[in-house]
């Protein structure tokens, strides 16, 4: 590692094979905490290259505990986090709304590192069971339309990194990797990213796959459709900027989509949206993100996606999906 750190301090980059080898060595515990923290810090100072990200991704997928959910044509809705916007759990809520609209979801998530409350924090607080048992996950999808893939259960090799990330409390390249390493390899994916540069890198990586994908970056910095302004969306064969009016929704104020100050508050917001008792702003932003997921997975228009997302919430089908999943967790 010392040699690698010296190389990186000279502003050199890693090849794909070097990046892959280093991450495998990190997973084996070959380096001490100071060396790993120094390595992570490099990629906070400069942008990660395509070769480096691809190498890290290959290492994690090679080491992961994979599950076969290919029978269900699932979609994952996952953001990189790290946008420092402190929104409520929009992508996780959108996952349940999408499931309530009849689309199978394999939601990959983790505890918050650079934010106070990640997807897994809320799910755990609300009584959702985490498991990497394939039969159980299949049962979840068949009964509720959604399963939760808690990242640490599928990427045990990263146990050496988790405490270092927690102590740093900052976004690292692992934020960038999360959406790329869903252990069920879904054929459909919505990914929110915290920078336009990263959106370009993701687009290149996804174009090399057979996935239906939409990569999201709001122009004012959100890693999701925020409805606070324009949003860049890169999909299979297309790239566009959409505005709130394109979703037939009003522009929102940033303060209207702020998350809870604690896991408990975040869970309360979560349930208020599913119960259709939230603020209009909270509902609209979840509907917009769900609509894109529905559109990406099925090929329908955004307008039709909006209609289906609203129906999922208004009919309480999204809430039913959550309640069924919770019952399976008992």
* Mean pLDDT (whole number) for 26-30: 89
Look at 162 and 313; give whichever has higher pLDDT.
Answer: 313
> What is the arithmetic mean of pLDDT over 127-133?
96
Identify the pLDDT of residue 240.
96
Q: Is 50 exposed, middle or buried (0-12, 13-18, 19+ CB in 10 A)?
A: middle
Q: In the predicted model, is pLDDT for residue 154 greater than 60?
A: yes
Q: What is the pLDDT of residue 82?
A: 67
What contacts 92, CB < 8 A, 6 or more positions away?
Answer: 77, 107, 109, 119, 122, 123, 270
Residue 256 CA to its chain's centroid (Å): 21
Is the domain covering 70-328 a CATH 3.40.190.10 domain?
A: no
- Tell me if the pTM is above 0.85: yes
Task: Answer yes or no: is pLDDT of 177 > 90.
Answer: no
Chain segment 44-73, per-residue pLDDT in tens:
888 889 999 999 999 999 999 999 999 999
pLDDT of residue 12: 94
pLDDT in tens, 231-263: 999 999 899 999 999 999 999 999 999 988 899
- Rounded to whole angstroms, how far apart are CA atoms 119 and 87? 12
What angle do helix axes 50-63 and 16-27 make, rounded to 10 degrees?
40
Number of residues assigned to the chain = 330
The structural domains of the chain, with segments of one domain joined by +, span 2-63, 70-328
HSE, CB side, 13 Å, CA atoms: give it for residue 203: 18
* The CATH number of domain 2-63 is 1.20.970.10: yes
Task: Please state, in angstroms and rounded to a whole number, the distance separating the CA atoms of residues 272 and 269.
Answer: 5
Question: What's the pLDDT band for 116 if we cut at 50, 70, 90?
Answer: low
């Amino acid at each position: 590692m010392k040699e690698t750190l010296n190389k990186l301090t000279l502003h050199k980059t890693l090849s794909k094979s070097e990046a892959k080898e280093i991450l495998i060595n990190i997973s084996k515990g070959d380096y001490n905490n100071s060396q790993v923290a120094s390595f992570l810090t490099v990629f906070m100072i400069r942008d990660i290259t395509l070769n480096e990200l691809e190498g890290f991704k290959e290492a994690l997928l090679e080491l992961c505990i994979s599950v076969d959910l290919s029978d269900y044509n699932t979609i994952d809705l996952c953001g990189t986090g790290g946008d420092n916007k402190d929104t409520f759990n929009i992508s996780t809520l959108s996952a349940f709304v999408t499931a309530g609209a009849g689309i199978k979801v394999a939601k990959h998530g983790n505890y918050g590192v650079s934010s106070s409350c990640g997807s897994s924090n809320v799910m755990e607080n609300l009584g959702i069971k985490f498991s990497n048992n394939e039969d159980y996950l299949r049962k979840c999808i068949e009964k509720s339309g959604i399963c939760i893939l808690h990242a640490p259960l599928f990427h045990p090799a990263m146990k050496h990194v988790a405490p270092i990330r927690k102590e740093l409390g900052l976004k690292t390249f692992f934020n960038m990797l999360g959406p790329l390493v869903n252990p069920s390899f879904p054929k459909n994916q919505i990914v929110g990213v915290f920078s336009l540069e990263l959106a370009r890198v993701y687009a290149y990586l996804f174009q090399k796959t057979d996935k239906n994908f939409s990569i999201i970056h709001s122009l004012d910095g959100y890693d999701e459709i925020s409805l606070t302004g324009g949003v860049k969306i890169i999909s299979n064969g297309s790239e566009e900027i959409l505005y709130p009016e394109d979703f037939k929704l009003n522009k929102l104020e940033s303060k209207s989509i702020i998350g809870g100050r604690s896991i408990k508050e975040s869970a309360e917001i979560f349930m208020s949206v599913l119960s259709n008792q939230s603020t209009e702003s909270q509902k609209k932003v979840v509907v917009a993100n769900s609509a894109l997921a529905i559109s990406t997975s099925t090929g329908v228009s955004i307008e039709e996606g909006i209609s289906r997302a609203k129906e999922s919430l208004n009919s309480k089908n999204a809430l039913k999906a959550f309640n069924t999943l919770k019952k399976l967790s008992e």
